[in-house]
Amino acid sequence: MAMSFFDQFASPSYLGIPLIAIAIALPWVLYPSPSSRWVNNRLITIQGWLINRFTNQLMLPLNTGGHKWALLLASLMVFLITINMLGLLPYTFTPTTQLSLNMGFAVPLWLATVIIGMRNQPTVALGHLLPEGTPIPLIPVLIIIETISLFIRPLALGVRLTANLTAGHLLIQLIATAVFVLLPMMPTVAILTAIVLFLLTLLEVAVAMIQAYVFVLLLSLYLQENV
């Protein structure tokens, strides 16, 4: 029983073919595409308004050079939110519970921000490794510490997203199992547990959106340091 709790995080396959590619590509089919009409329907209007608000908020602290990333970051935000939300449905697979996928998003984008900083302003980029006013004896130690913290950033991005979603899914499954076990023996306790499960599900919906926002927000902060 203990091992079965983690079966939901195993990548599904059919006839030996991994289906994670379908799980990643499916959200793009669900998005409404804008039409050529002058007036769109309510769903497309709300979708465009939310994306515009998010993009404006994200690009506010960045200068003009960082605005080239607006389309990429907004698309990544919508994509992560959709995958996280679909993963809360029964009998579905959440690709973002796989550390390999999250690291595949985090490492290239973080590396791109570092390369942009080293190419456009190498002095400022290297200056982040040594805070101003550092005593001379501490300079080697601080450079090593800042370098390690720089390389830990993509790992923190991927692990944060994976750990939060994995913990939420496990907690939901544990409480749902407790509800089914308690229902024949103690119906009152089972009903109270089901209410807790409902509240936890609402919390996980918020976590799914917040974690996607935090992932993209931290990438924009890394970009802000290098443009």
- How far, CA to CA in Å, does 12 sit from each of 35, 49, 98? 35, 35, 12
Mean residue pLDDT of the chain comes to 84
Q: How many domains does the chain have?
A: 1
pLDDT at 215 over 60: yes
Q: pLDDT at position 135, please? A: 81
Is the pLDDT reported for residue 3 higher than 60?
Answer: no
Structure tokens at 95: 């690709």
Q: For the chain, count helices (H), then strands (E).
A: 7, 2
219 in a domain, yes or no? yes
Tell whether 2 is covered by a domain: no
What pLDDT shows up at residue 4?
Answer: 65
> For residue 71, what pLDDT is reported?
87
Residue with tokens 């039409």: 35
pLDDT (average), residues 2-29: 71
Sign of CA dihedral 147, 149, 153, 155: positive
User: Is residue 131 domain-resident?
Assistant: yes
More confident: 181 or 4: 181
108: in domain: yes
Residue 111 pLDDT exceeds 80: yes
In a domain, 1, yes or no: no
Q: Tell me the pTM.
A: 0.84
Residue 18 lies inside a defined structural domain of this protein:
yes
User: Domain residues for 104?
Assistant: 7-225
For residue range 127-160, list pLDDT tens digits in order: 778 777 778 888 888 888 888 988 999 999 999 9
